[in-house]
């Protein structure tokens, strides 16, 4: 699966491409709208991630030019804060989805997967580990059949853990995978959110699904 990323902020483009490559996608990045449009119109890509504010030509114009000849290739807009009107315009112009910045990598991957799903290929948008179930698109979580309400960040953290069941994940891995490019590496935010998650996932008499490995990291038990 080939993904085109049109994004002029180098840090974000790097973050997206490293992450998507780790998920097995082939990624091409360009920094301006004119190159972006030229590549988008080659038809060589299965999905396009498109920033709106770009040098050369803005993302909405690229999208509208692309849609004149290609109505099918999924396009996900990356929108900065305060561009609500642009998002609406983007959907009118034929974007399939948009992701507000800053975003967690988990959310980006969930949307990319959802839009790349071909009919009959089955759903890759649900995760199940032990008695935990997660619907990535509806952003719903349940444990032992009981629905659990999570904040956006708690959800992304649990999604990351559920994608790596049984694996020991370091705090740094979780920080990069969930908080992404705009995190402060000095914080203990991972520990804080693990504690929030534990509290919400707790069921009387049941074992804590998240194991702490002192000075190493965390592990979501898959042996329950």
Applying CB under 5 A, the residues found at the interface with Ca ion are 8, 51, 53
Q: Smallest distance from the beta carbon of 8 to Ca ion, in angstroms?
A: 5
Structure tokens at 217: 């990291």
Nearer to Ca ion by Cβ, of 10 and 198: the residue is 10
Q: Smallest distance from the beta carbon of 183 to Ca ion, in angstroms?
A: 20
State how far the alpha carbon of 180 is from the alpha carbons of 98, 101, 104, in Å: 18, 11, 6
Residue with the closest Cβ to Ca ion? 53
Nearer to Ca ion by Cβ, of 57 and 139: the residue is 57
> Strands of 126-129's sheet, edge to edge?
126-129, 132-135, 140-143, 146-148
Q: Smallest distance from the beta carbon of 155 to Ca ion, in angstroms?
A: 26
Q: Smallest distance from the beta carbon of 9 to Ca ion, in angstroms?
A: 6
Q: Smallest distance from the beta carbon of 5 to Ca ion, in angstroms?
A: 12
Nearer to Ca ion by Cβ, of 51 and 86: the residue is 51
Nearer to Ca ion by Cβ, of 51 and 107: the residue is 51
Q: Smallest distance from the beta carbon of 204 to Ca ion, in angstroms?
A: 49
Nearer to Ca ion by Cβ, of 101 and 164: the residue is 101
Nearer to Ca ion by Cβ, of 6 and 127: the residue is 6
């Amino acid at each position: 699966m080939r993904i085109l990323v049109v994004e002029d902020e180098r840090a974000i483009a790097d973050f997206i491409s490293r992450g998507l490559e780790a998920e097995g996608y082939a990624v091409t990045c360009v920094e301006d709208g004119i190159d972006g449009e030229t590549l988008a119109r080659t038809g060589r890509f299965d999905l396009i991630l498109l920033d709106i504010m770009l040098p050369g030509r803005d993302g909405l114009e690229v999208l509208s030019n692309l849609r004149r000849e290609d109505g099918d290739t999924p396009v996900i807009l990356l929108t900065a804060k305060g561009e609500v009107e642009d998002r609406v315009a983007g959907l009118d112009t034929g974007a399939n989805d948009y992701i507000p910045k800053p975003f967690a990598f988990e959310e980006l991957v969930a949307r990319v997967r959802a839009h790349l799903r071909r009919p009959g290929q089955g759903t890759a948008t649900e995760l199940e580990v032990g008695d935990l179930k997660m619907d990535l698109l509806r952003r719903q979580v349940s444990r032992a059949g009981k629905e659990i309400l999570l904040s956006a960040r708690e959800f992304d953290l649990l999604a990351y853990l559920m994608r790596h069941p049984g694996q020991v994940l370091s705090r740094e891995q979780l920080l990069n995978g969930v908080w992404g490019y705009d995190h402060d590496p000095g914080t203990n935010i991972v520990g804080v959110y693990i504690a929030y998650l534990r509290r919400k996932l707790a069921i009387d008499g049941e074992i804590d699904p998240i194991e702490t490995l002192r000075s190493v990291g965390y592990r979501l038990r898959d042996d329950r």
